[in-house]
Amino acid sequence: MPDLDTYFTAIEALRVSAAAELEVIAQAAGRDSPLHLRCQEAWRQREAAASLSLQFDDFDNATEILDRGVHSLQHALDAAQREHLPVEQVYALIKSC
């Protein structure tokens, strides 16, 4: 098991990555766009789930939850633009990842 500093560094890096992905979505779709707002909501849900895992010292699970959240954000804009999915379908997709 890695030490706690390693986990916290990884978690912080994932949060930075999520913020960057959310900024890309905001720039492309608009900061007040339904897509950006839903992506923010999905990320907050990931953070809440990861926080719960951290309360039980399950650092591996917390890291995995956030990693999947970043991965889903990376595909949200593409799904909305290239696949022409409605926002609610994109939201369901990123929540399910």
Question: pLDDT tens across 29-71, in order?
Answer: 999 999 999 999 999 999 999 999 999 999 999 999 999 999 9
Model confidence at 1: pLDDT above 70? no
CA distance 15 to 78: 20
Which residue, 11, 30, 1, is CA-closest to 70?
A: 11
Q: What is the pLDDT of residues 12-39, one digit of tens each?
A: 999 999 999 999 999 999 999 999 999 9
User: Which of residues 54 and 82 earns the better pLDDT score?
Assistant: 54
Q: What is the mean pLDDT of residues 71-75?
A: 95
The DSSP output letter for 84 is -
* pTM metric for this prediction: 0.92
* Distance, CA of 1 to CA of 6 (rounded, Å): 10
**Cα–Cα distance, 25 to 39 (Å, whole number):** 8
